[in-house]
Amino acid sequence: MQYHIEGMDCASCVGKIETALARMPGVSDIQLNFATEKLELTLAPDGATQFSDIEKTIKRLGFGISATSDQSIAANSANQSATEHQRWWQSRKGKQVVGLGLLMSIAYALSLLFPDYGMWAFAVAVIVGVFPFARKALALAMTGTPFSIEMLMSVAALGALIIGEPEEAAAVVFLFSVGELLEGVAADRARAGIRALASLVPKSAILLDAQGGQRDVPAASLQVNDLVLVRPGDKVSADGIITQGNSSLDDSPITGESIPVAKTVGDDVFAGSINMEGALQIRVEKTAADNTIARIIELVEQAQASKAPTARFIEKFSRYYTPAVMAIAALVIIIPPLAMGGEWATWLYRGLALLLIACPCALVLSTPAAIASGLAVGARRGLLIKGGSALEIIGRVNTVAFDKTGTLTEGKPRVTDVVAFTKDRMDSQGEDAILALFASVESASSHPLAKAIIDHAKAANIAIPIASKAYATAGKAVHATVAGRALAIGSPVYAANETSITSEQNAQIAALQNEGKTVSVLFDEQSREVLGLVALRDELRDDAKEGIAQLKAMGVRSVMLTGDNRLTAQALASHLDIEWEAELLPEDKLRLLNEMKDKTKIAMIGDGINDAPALATADVGIAMGGGTDVAIETADVALMKSRVTDVAHLVALSRATMSNIHQNVIFALGLKAVFLITTVLGITGLWIAVLADTGATVLVTLNALRLLRFKTGSST
């Protein structure tokens, strides 16, 4: 059986559902994926449990459930992306928070205007707000999870209400409701990354029949060995092999290659790649359920499922804290009157005061207050951190894996060298003349390298001659006539077949390529003379070297993972003093990250769609803000200013935040421990208990606010 589960806002929800289902007879092989909200299980045909029983159990726990069919991952994701998602205020939890907030505002106003009725107004707010949590707590208790966070909150709120502190009870309920809502919103944002991946593959394809006819069909319906046409500017609709035509394809969504790759008959192509120039006929090799994008989606889903977020501190602590405090309170109320002849009223008062001291307000705030301050500081610096779990982990990271293209580099090719092999009669300055000819020939091309050359010539205020008879040999060269001369620009391999390149010229080409640069050759097609070279490279970001050095000073190791060629990777890595691995596909990056994760805490930084699986499987994923939406949605952190130095700022901020959290927990638990003892001994009473709880909350909040003054290098 397969189901879609709604309403899971944190990883602990998975455990609650699995525990409840495991207790049902005839249910086995339970697999619940938090990231995709998919539940799979096996139900014994002759068992006592029916399909309806499973649905009733899950709904009783406060989650939605619907049956699903066994579709491909890509199809499921595409269907989800087509569904309009609710705004936060339209959801059940959002309406609950808004309603409770209004009730508390009304209660506060009434308490000011009519003090005698304010208490009752707050009591109504508490009862209305706590009801759904109390009902869920009872359902969880009946299905094997008696000491849940819902149980702790319900008992604390009702305890505060019983002893006459409805304002405190209302604050607990409202705070918990807001926390639940924020977790739900964050979970949905994380899942949006998977939905966005499916949109990379075009919805339709041009299918060619045996007679050469063309018709539009859904891309998901393509079968192995079908022939499809991909026109210039179109996305490739399926993984396959080129059977006719040649062109340059932008494979950056798949391989991370920064420059379009020339491909011809017999070469592999990937679904989602963009055809830059000539028309291609492609024979389909893989269906939509098994293409490259579908595999990336599956990798992301699996990575998110295996990387359950850090459980909330209070959820872990409540496994011991909740039953212990409830047991102590019960013993305080019952034992003295029965065993020592104490007065019931006195010990009931002390027990209720103990419940108030046990109210987790300060403890609940200890982590979120510091996290909220840390997130605010990060936002001011352009560091979009998606939740406290990510902020906690970053400070413990001791290895950072960088993608190259668009992360350590700008992601845009730039002209680095212009070499003139002859003085051109058009200009006494050879290099300027050669650059002018390069720009003239490339002026009719839309290739990224052509744009970089033209932009470089314009920036140098060089007059670009008008070219005529411009055309392209797809994937090989561009041709044009300039001032009566038939010129061409191509790769060194193409130029070697069309001209006679001297050994000196070959040595210069090799030297440039060894520096990780892409070389284009300009030659005269009539005289077969090589006129000059232009070298281009995707240059390092201005702060890349400084950012790596800062991480090294903090004891954090850096490694570069890229889909680019080894020469480019080696040249850039040597300049940065960084370890490197090159020519990697998405699954290769994933394999290397998993190997490193066995030995160290690791962060992955990337900007492309191809980085999405690696961003998801790392302990924390960080995306450059200028990157793709998919990378940003999949990652735990987005560097909105796209600065490499911000990675070191992230680590420092996380370490300061975790230090603040530890201080807050000591304040919260320390004060509670002191007043728990004094309350049991009768030294302090109800009002002191209220003051102790409020005081702990104030201390925790003020300490957390210190983080707002955090600066890089400070020891806050």
Closest CA to 412 of 645, 200, 626, 235: 626
Token representation of residue 318: 């409540």
State which amino acid sits at residue 288. Answer: A
Sheet containing 261-263: order of strands = 261-263, 247-250, 274-275
Helix (H, G, I), strand (E, B) or coil at 276: coil
* Three-state SS sequence of 378-446: HHHCCEEECCHHHHHHHCCCCEEEEEHHHHHEEEEEEEEEEEECCCCCCCCCHHHHHHHHHHHHHCCCC
Triad 230, 236, 241: Cα angle to 5°: 85
Phi/psi of residue 62, nearest 5 degrees: 95, 15
Residue tagged active-site, from 9, 250, 251, 403: 403
Q: Would you tell me how many other CB atoms lie within 10 Å of the CB of residue 383?
A: 25
The residue with tokens 């001011």 is 380
CA dihedral 460, 461, 463, 467 (to 10 degrees): 60
Helix (H, G, I), strand (E, B) or coil at 353: helix
Q: How far is CA 312 from the centre of its chain?
A: 19
% helix / strand / coil in the chain, to the nearest 5? 55, 20, 25
Radius of gyration of the chain (CA): 32
- Given its phi and psi angles, is residue 142 left (phi above 0), alpha (psi -120 to 50 degrees) or beta? alpha
Measured between its terminal Cα atoms, the distance across the chain in Å is 52
Q: Would you tell me how many other CB atoms lie within 10 Å of the CB of residue 552?
A: 14
Phi/psi of residue 277, nearest 5 degrees: -130, -90
Closest CA to 136 of 58, 61, 63: 61
Collect all residues with Cβ–Cβ distance below 8 Å to 616 and sequence separation of at least 6: 193, 299, 300, 303, 304, 307, 634
Is position 403 annotated as part of the catalytic site?
yes
Closest CA to 205 of 223, 218, 189: 218
* Three-state SS sequence of 159-181: HHHHCCCHHHHHHHHHHHHHHHH
Say if CB 252 and CB 258 are below 8 A apart. yes
Token representation of residue 396: 């413990």
Closest CA to 347 of 326, 321, 329: 329
Closest CA to 619 of 599, 597, 650: 597
State which amino acid sits at residue 673. Answer: A
Phi/psi of residue 57, nearest 5 degrees: -60, -45
State which amino acid sits at residue 24. Answer: M
Residues designated as active site: 403
